[in-house]
Amino acid sequence: MKLSLFKVAQGCRLGTLNNLGRKGDRTMEFPGCLLYTRTGSAPHLTHDTLRVISRVPVMTQLTLSSLAEHCEVLEEYKEGIGKFIGMPESMFYCSLHDPVNPCPAGYVTNKSVSVWGVGGRLEMTAAKFMSVQQALQPDWFQCLSDGEALCGEVFSTKRARKSVDRSLAFLDECLKLQEQSEVLRNCVMIGVIEGGDTLEERLRSARETAKRPVGGFLLDGFHGDAMTKETRLQLISSVTAELPEDKPRLICGIGQPDEVLECIEAGVDLFESFFPYQVTERGCALSFSFDYQPNPEDTVLQQNGEKEEGEIGDHIDKVTTTKRVPETSFEINLKEKKYCDDFGPVVEGCSCYCCKNHSRAYVHHLLVTNELLAGVLLMIHNFQHYFGFFYAIREALRKDRLGQLKKLVCRQAS
Amino acid sequence: MAAPRDSQSTRSPEPMAAVAASAAGAGTRAPAALALRVVAECGRSKARACELRLPHGTVATPVFMPVGTQGTMKGVTAAQLDSLGCTICLGNTYHLGMRPGPELIQKAGGLHGFMNWNQNLLTDSGGFQMVSLLALSEVTEEGVRFRSPYDGTEILLSPEKSVEIQNALGSDIMMQLDDVVSSTLTGSRVEEAMHRSIRWLDRCISANRRPDRQNLFAIIQGGLDPVLRSKCLEEMTKRDVPGFAIGGLSGGESKEQFWKMVTLSTDRLPREKPRYLMGVGYATDLVVCVALGCDMFDCVFPTRTARFGSALVPTGNLQLKKKQFAKDFRPIDEACTCPTCQRHTRAFLHALLHSNNTTALHHVTVHNIAYQLQLMDAIRTSIVEHRFPDFVRDFMKTMYGELRRCPAWAMEALESVGIPLN
C-alpha cells in the first residue's frame, strides 16, 4: 500500500491509497468512507440493488461481531469472506464491533475482548481473534483492542491507561501471530489508538502504536457523548499530529455530515457509512445539500425552499409526532402525513434509483404499510446521498472550496 | 405520473387499435383490451400455450402471477421483477382501497404509476380478503358490509364500488366482485352465493367505465357441487367478458374435489378466452392444472414462504435456516439462473437468514419468483414442442422420487386427460 498525499489544507488531507488489494492494483481516494454491511451484506440490498447506487466505496466494512460465529464455516469454505458473501470484487476492512449496535461493556480483560454475535458472546483471545481473521482473509483488519476507557460511570486516567496498555499488548501479540501465518501476512493490520479523554494517554497510544509495523490507524472511542465536541476534536488533532503522514487514519462511530467534516479538518481520512443505515431504519431520507456551487438561477429558489423547511407547520409536525429515535436535521421523515400525496422525488435533483423511479407518496405508503421495499428504496437513496457527500468533499478540497461546503453543511445542522 | 419516468421494460405496450386489429385479424371476436392467441395445444391433455395481449404488453401463458399485495412485490424492486421476466403481477383492491385509497392512487396515475410498474397488473375485487380477513363482514344483495380495521368506519363494498376502485387503480385485468363462500361449505348458502355472483357479474359489467382499457373477468362459483358449478358456467359464459376465473376453490377442500371442479370448469369455458385459476401456486398443482386447461395462476405462497427462509426447488423446498445448510456451499439450485443462485451459496443464505438483515429475505424471494416463472416457462416450452406429457412425468419423478409416489389425486387428474403416470 502506498499513500499519495495531493494536498493538505486547513488540516484536511486529500489523496489516494494505491497498490491496494490482492493484486496490488486497486486505488482508494480519501477523504472517503467504507460500505457498511451487516453479516456481510449491505443492509436491505442484494447485489442487483447495490449495483444501481453511484460511487459505492471500493472498500467494504465487515464487522467481526457479525462474522466471528461463522468462523468454522469459513475455514471449511477456504476461499475467504469476499467470495462467501458474494462480493468477490470488493476489498474488505474488518472492524471489531458494529458501530450501530454497541455491545455491553465490561467484557474486556487482559487476555481477551468479547464480541456479540447472534448466538451470544464470543470471547476473542489474540489467538482466537487471529484465527478468525485467517478464515476471513480481509484486506485490512482492526487489531484486537480495548475500547472501553469511557464506558464506566467514572472516567479515570487509570482506566484510560489500561485501555492503552492492553491495546498495545494485544497489538504486539497479534503482530507476532501475523508473522507466523502466510495468509495473514497478506492482510494489513490497523493499529488502534485508545486512551479515553486523557490527552497524555492518547498521545502515548499514538506514539507507541506508530512504532509498530501497522498499515494504518483507527481512532477509537471518540463516538458517543462521553466527551464534549471541543475535547474530541482537540484530542483527534493531537493524535493525528503524532501519526505518520503516509498511513491512513480511520475513525469509527462518527457519521453525521458536520462531524465528518470536523474530523477531516482534524486529520482523519476514512469513515464508516453506518449513518445512512440509521437514517433508513427510522424511515427517513437524507436530504441535506452539499451543493455549495448551485446554479445561480436555482439559488433564489433554494433559498425560498430552505425557508419553507423552517416554517412553523413543519416544526409542529416534528414536535407532536412521538419520536423515539433521534432524528437529525439532515433528513426528512417520510412517515409524516404531509408526504402522503407528494408525488415529487424524495430529494429533488437526486439521480438515485429511488428518486428517479418513485415518489415521496409511494415511499410514505410503503412505510405506513410496513412494507419491506421501504427499507430497500431508502437505503439506496441514503447510501447514494452519503457517497455523493464524500465525493463533494473531495471535489471541494481539490478546488479549495471546503470552507464553503462546511458552511453549507453546518447551516443545516440543528 | 401516468407516463413512466424510467421505462424498465424494453417492451412498449401495444396501442389499443393494434390489439383490436390483430385480434380481429386472428379471426376471434375479442374485446379491444385483450386478445388471446392459442399458439400450441398438447395433443393429449387440455394444456395449451397462448399469447395474451393486454394493454401493458403481451403475456405468454401458462403464466404464474406473483402477488404484490400492497403495491409492492415485498422487498423486490420493480426493476428486479422486470429482469426476472415477470410480465404480470397482482395488486389487492382491498388493501390498496384502504391504504392509500383509490383517489390517491388515481392521482398518482393509477397503480402502474404509483408503483412504477409498466407491465400488466391484475387486481382482485376485494371480496375474498374481506371475507377471510375480517371477523365481522355481512353479505347482502347490496354488497359486503364491514368495518374498516383502521378507523372503524362502516363500509359497503358493492359490485359497483369494487369496480369503481379497480377503475381508479387502472389494472389491465380486474375481477368481478363475487359472493365468496368457503369451499368446505355445503347447502343452500352455496347456491345462493352462486346465483348472486351472476347478478353481481352483470352489475360489475355495467359499472366498468373503461372496458376499452380494463378487462373485467367473471369468476365461476358453485363450490364443489357439479350441478351448481355447471349452472354458473352456463350462465356466466353467456356474458361477453374477456376472460374467466375459476373461483371458490383453493380453500380447505380436498384435492380430489378440487381437480374435478377445475376440469369441469375448463370443459365448459370457451377455448379462445383465458382461464384463470385463482389461488393456486404449488408446483404440482400448477403442472396438473395446466394439463386440465388453465392458463393463469396466482398465489402468495412462493413469496410468503420465501420470507420464512424456504427456497423452492424441483424436489420440493429447502428450509435454509436449518443447520444442515450451514456448510452447504452449493447454490439453492444448480440449474437456476436467478441472481441469487448465480452469486450465493446455501451456506451464506443460512448465515444471513439468522441475522436481522432483510437482504436474506430478498434473496429467497427473488429465487422463489424465478423458480415459479422458470417452471411455467418450461411447461410452456414443452407444450410448444409437443412433449408436455413427458415433461409432466419427468417433473413428477423429480418431485416425488418415483412416479408411483405422486399423490393419488394428481395421478387421477392427469390420467383423466390422457397423461397416465405409470
Taking only the tens place, the pLDDT of each residue in A61-113 is 999 999 999 999 999 999 999 999 999 999 999 999 999 987 788 899 999 99
Binding residues of B for substrate: 124-128, 178, 221, 248
pLDDT of residue B29: 41
As for how many domains chain B has, the answer is 1
Contact residues on chain B for A78, CB-CB shorter than 8 A: none
Judged against a pLDDT cut of 70, whether residue B330 lies above it is answered with yes
Q: What is the pLDDT of residues B218-252, one digit of tens each?
A: 999 999 999 999 999 999 999 999 999 999 998 88
Q: What is the pLDDT of residues A304-336, one digit of tens each?
A: 444 334 333 333 333 333 334 578 999 999 999
Binding residues of B for Zn(2+): 336, 338, 341, 367
Asked whether A343 and A359 are in contact (CB, 8 A), the reply is yes
Note whether residue B366 is domain-resident: no
Asked whether A95 and A144 are in contact (CB, 8 A), the reply is no
Judged against a pLDDT cut of 50, whether residue B107 lies above it is answered with yes
Judged against a pLDDT cut of 70, whether residue B70 lies above it is answered with yes
| Whether B366 and A52 lie within 8 Å, measured CB to CB | no
Is residue B298 part of the annotated active site? The answer reads yes
Judged against a pLDDT cut of 90, whether residue B312 lies above it is answered with yes
pLDDT of residue B134: 66
Note whether residue B91 is domain-resident: yes
Which helix (H) or strand (E) segment holds residue B236: the answer is helix B226-236
Binding residues of A for Zn(2+): 350, 352, 355, 381
Note whether residue B39 is domain-resident: yes
Judged against a pLDDT cut of 90, whether residue B152 lies above it is answered with no
Q: Quickly tell me which residue has 429465487 as its cell.
A: B367
- Residues belonging to chain B: 422
| Whether B5 and A70 lie within 8 Å, measured CB to CB | no
Q: Quickly tell me which residue has 387428474 as its cell.
A: B413
Q: Nearest CA of chain A to the CA of B159: how many Å?
A: 26
Considering the candidates B172, B295, B298, B333, report the single residue annotated as catalytic: B298
ipTM of the assembly? 0.92
pLDDT of residue B381: 98
A77 or B6: which leads in pLDDT = A77
Span B368-385, mean pLDDT?
Answer: 98
Which helix (H) or strand (E) segment holds residue A176: the answer is helix A157-179
Note whether residue B236 is domain-resident: yes
pLDDT of residue B3: 40
Asked whether B365 and B75 are in contact (CB, 8 A), the reply is yes
A-facing residues of B in 333-362 (CB < 8 A) are 339-340, 343-345, 347-348, 351-352, 354-362
Report helix, strand and coil shares of chain B as percent, to nearest 5: 40, 15, 40
Contact residues on chain B for A356, CB-CB shorter than 8 A: 5-6
Residue to mutate among B357, B363, B367, with most A CBs inside 10 A, is B357
Predicted confidence band of residue B1 (pLDDT cuts 50, 70, 90): very low
pLDDT of residue B187: 87
Considering the candidates B82, B124, B172, B295, report the single residue annotated as catalytic: B124
Note whether residue B234 is domain-resident: yes
pLDDT of residue A104: 85
Residue to mutate among B362, B363, B365, B369, with most A CBs inside 10 A, is B362
| Whether B104 and A340 lie within 8 Å, measured CB to CB | yes
| Whether A39 and B71 lie within 8 Å, measured CB to CB | no
Judged against a pLDDT cut of 70, whether residue B19 lies above it is answered with no
Q: What is the spatial distance between Cα B1 and Cα B99, in angstroms, rounded to a whole number?
A: 19
Contact residues on chain B for A373, CB-CB shorter than 8 A: 72-77
Q: What is the CATH number of the domain that holds B117?
A: 3.20.20.105
- Expressed as residue numbers, the domain containing B67 is 35-124+161-298
Note whether residue B172 is domain-resident: yes
| Whether B75 and A70 lie within 8 Å, measured CB to CB | no
Predicted confidence band of residue A243 (pLDDT cuts 50, 70, 90): very high
What topology does CATH give the domain A30-281?
Answer: TIM Barrel (3.20.20)
Residue to mutate among B359, B361, B362, B363, with most A CBs inside 10 A, is B359
CA distances from B214 to B171, B234, B382 (A): 6, 24, 31
First to last CA, chain A: 39
pLDDT of residue B5: 40
Beta-carbon contacts of A94 under 8 Å, excluding residues fewer than 6 positions away, are: A61, A62, A63, A64, A67, A81, A133, A136, A138, A140, A141, A142
Q: What is the pLDDT of residues A110-152, one digit of tens each?
A: 999 999 999 999 999 999 999 999 999 999 999 999 999 888 7
Note whether residue B92 is domain-resident: yes
Average pLDDT of chain B to the nearest whole number: 91
Judged against a pLDDT cut of 60, whether residue B145 lies above it is answered with yes
Span B13-20, mean pLDDT?
Answer: 44
Among chain B residues, the shortest Cα distance to A380 is held by B77
Q: What is the pLDDT of residues A145-178, one digit of tens each?
A: 999 988 877 788 999 999 999 999 999 999 999 9
Span A44-63, mean pLDDT?
Answer: 98
pTM score, whole prediction: 0.92
Q: What is the spatial distance between Cα A198 and Cα A213, in angstroms, rounded to a whole number?
A: 25
Q: What is the pLDDT of residues A220-240, one digit of tens each?
A: 999 988 899 999 999 999 999
pLDDT of residue A297: 62
- Tell me whether residue A226 is exposed, middle or buried, using C-beta atoms within 10 angstroms of its C-beta: 0 to 12, 13 to 18, 19 or more: middle
Q: Nearest CA of chain A to the CA of B328: how many Å?
A: 9
Percent of chain A with pLDDT over 90: 86
| Whether B359 and A371 lie within 8 Å, measured CB to CB | no
Is residue B328 part of the annotated active site? The answer reads no
Q: What is the pLDDT of residues B400-419, one digit of tens each?
A: 999 989 999 999 999 999 99
